[in-house]
Amino acid sequence: MTPHTTIGPHPSATRPVRVLAVDDQAVFRRAARDVIAATAGFELAGEAGCGDEGLEAVERLAPDLVLLDVRMPGIDGIEVARRLSRTHPQVVVVLISIEERIDVPSAAALERTPLVRKQEFGPRLLRRLWEQYGR
């Protein structure tokens, strides 16, 4: 997860893609900060340590993309993703997990919500996610 170089050109001609990292593990939030900083055209909008904080941060910070841990105390990432799909459909939500396989309920609200492993998260994957799911 530690970036080595800045990857690729700026994805937006007008402004960077603003990313919110929501994870109860400070170690992943720190790694996400490093990846975002190493990816040209992306900037950290903010961080949150739980689902409730993540929902509030989306309202306050208006990110373009949310990295959302699947398993958190309180409101888990899947429920946060469902709520964001209803209230902020313009925000790209990416579910993240250390687990190899996660049972994500098949619901229309989550059909455009990718699930990635934390171990694979890096600048190239961040850029690819935005290119595929960004608006």
pLDDT, tens digit, 9 for 90 and up, residues 104-127 = 555 545 667 888 899 999 999 999
- Measured torsion, CA atoms of residues 88, 89, 90, 94, in degrees rounded to the nearest 10: 90
Residue 132's CB is within 10 A of a number of other CB atoms, namely 10
Q: Model-level pTM?
A: 0.84
| Tens-place pLDDT, residues 71-98 | 998 999 999 999 999 999 999 999 998 8
Q: Is 53 strand, coil or helix?
A: helix
How far from 70 is each of 22, 53, 55, CA to CA, in Å?
A: 10, 14, 14
pLDDT at 111: 67
Q: Which domains does the chain have, with CATH numbers?
A: 17-133 (3.40.50.2300)
pLDDT > 70: percent of the chain: 81
pLDDT given at position 3? 44
Across all residues in the chain, what is the average pLDDT? 86
Structure confidence at residue 113 (pLDDT): 84
Structure tokens at 131: 């290119």
State mean pLDDT over 8-36.
85
Look up residue 36 and give its amino acid.
Answer: I
